[in-house]
Structure 1
Amino acid sequence: RLRKKERLVRERSRQILEAAAKVFARKGFHQATMKEIAEEADIAPGTIYLYFKNKKDLLVNIPRLVTEPLLEEMQELGEGVFSEDALKQLVRRHLNRALEHVEIFKVLFSSLSLMDEKTKEEYLRRTPLYLAGEVEKRLRQGIEMGLFRPLDPTIAARAFLGMIFIFFLSQEIMPGKLIAPLDYDQVVDEVVSIFFHGILKRQSREG
């Protein structure tokens, strides 16, 4: 369990990031000011700098609002290999959390072109690559235990997250749900099934 001081730091950081996400979504990254973010968070402007260096630091840390709770949920599942049902449950939680914070992802996508290479690298390291690393670790364990066939766990982990991500991107960031809406429960079931079993038809025992 987190100690009281660590918990307070995390809560204040989250408060600031939530305020930054709202202001960035409302005004855009470049037009937003630290003063406006402080007002949204109901804190003194100088308080922000105790937790974050500048606006870019806020931007690359905003995904923590989604990823930190998800990683905590992954840890609650234990260190073992994912079962098919456990992975479905985890992905559903992740999608539900992402849907609650669609504005955050809109801010990030609209700001990617404004980031320099170092900022993009930091964003990738802290968010999608970190999540992929957690999935990769479970896959590697499964391969070592003989549960999964030999494959590159890094590629497999990123491919899996990519399948989920493209559905979210097309449905929520682009107008996919207006053109061809999809049921997320069905998406999760199909993607996890493809990931575990592939798309080739299984031959019958008699065959």
Structure 2
Amino acid sequence: MAGLRAKQKADKTRRILDAAATLFRREGYDSARIEAIAEMAEVSVGTLYNYYQNKGDILVATVAMEVTEVLEGGARIVANPPLDVAEALRTLIAQYYDHSLVYLSKEMWRAAMAISIQQPETPLSRRYTDLDGQLSAQVVRLVETLQARGVVHAGVDARAIGEVFFNNLNMMFIEFCKVDAMPLGELKARVEAQHAPIARLISTVKIV
């Protein structure tokens, strides 16, 4: 019975998040109504409020769903990365960026970022920060894996370099979200160009 309740809860949660993502995209985060989300998800408004206190909760939960899937895909890459620093970074970052607009629009990302900055002590903001921390840790693990396989110099501080890579890709993603007209391909190209010199410096394999 407990297993059935858990399955029903997971199903309702997913329906709510899918409905919210659809309406946030269609109507805009500010304009979308809780009642409309509940109706599309085929749950009562009361049930929705049992799961989430407000739209901000729903938005951050959608971010969490997105990041969870990204981390799962990233884990497979980190477990068996290309044995070239630049290519490994490009592959992992492409996994992040390609998935970033599956559930969320740029406008939704901006709203989530604003919540995390404007309300830094709230559970919503702490959750957002924790998700960033998990992504950063995964980039660090990529550098550590490459180092363990002899592709990155042994003397390199894998944690520091991994955090540098993440901080840059994250800041560039923020800039991408600010500009509705910027295509994903441009974001990838700019980040790859910025990471390439560092990748060459830390790599044990010198490309002529």
- Is residue 131 of structure 1 aligned with residue 141 of structure 2? no
Cα distance in 2 for partners of 1:204, 1:34 equals 55
CA contact (8 A) 2:59 2:112 kept: yes
- Letter aligned with residue 48 of structure 1: L
* Residue 116 of structure 1: how far off its partner (Å): 4.3
- Is residue 14 of structure 1 aligned with residue 19 of structure 2? no
5 Å matches for 1:138-153?
A: 138-144=142-148, 146-149=150-153, 150-153=155-158
Q: What secondary structure does 1:46 align onto?
A: helix
2:189 to 183, 186, 202: 186
1:154 to 150, 159, 165: 159
Residues 92 and 204 of structure 1: is their aligned pair in 2 closer, same or farther, counting only changes over 3 Å? Answer: closer
In structure 2, the partner of 1:122 is: 127
TM-score between both structures, scaled by the size of structure 2: 0.69
Residues 168 and 78 of structure 1: is their aligned pair in 2 closer, same or farther, counting only changes over 3 Å? Answer: closer
* Residue 63 of structure 1: how far off its partner (Å): 1.1
5 Å matches for 1:5-154?
A: 10=10, 12-21=12-21, 22-23=23-24, 26-28=28-30, 34-49=34-49, 52-55=51-54, 56-77=56-77, 79-80=79-80, 83=83, 84=85, 85-100=87-102, 101=104, 102-119=106-123, 120-125=125-130, 127-144=131-148, 146-149=150-153, 150-154=155-159
2:175 to 170, 177, 181: 170
Cα distance in 2 for partners of 1:110, 1:204 equals 42
Q: What secondary structure does 1:186 align onto?
A: helix
- Letter aligned with residue 53 of structure 2: N
* Residue 95 of structure 1: how far off its partner (Å): 1.5
Cα distance in 2 for partners of 1:128, 1:114 equals 17
Q: What secondary structure does 2:171 align onto?
A: helix
CA contact (8 A) 1:81 1:139 kept: no
Runs of 4+ in 1 over 6 A off after TM superposition: 3-8
- Letter aligned with residue 35 of structure 2: K
Cα distance in 1 for partners of 2:4, 2:143 equals 35
Cα distance in 2 for partners of 1:144, 1:91 equals 20
- Letter aligned with residue 14 of structure 1: R
CA contact (8 A) 1:63 1:104 kept: no
Residues 87 and 10 of structure 1: is their aligned pair in 2 closer, same or farther, counting only changes over 3 Å? Answer: farther
TM-score between both structures, scaled by the size of structure 1: 0.69
Q: What secondary structure does 2:152 align onto?
A: coil
* Residue 16 of structure 1: how far off its partner (Å): 1.8
Quick one: percent identity of the two aligned structures?
Answer: 18
CA contact (8 A) 1:17 1:62 kept: yes
- Structure 1 residue runs of 5 or longer lacking an equivalent are none
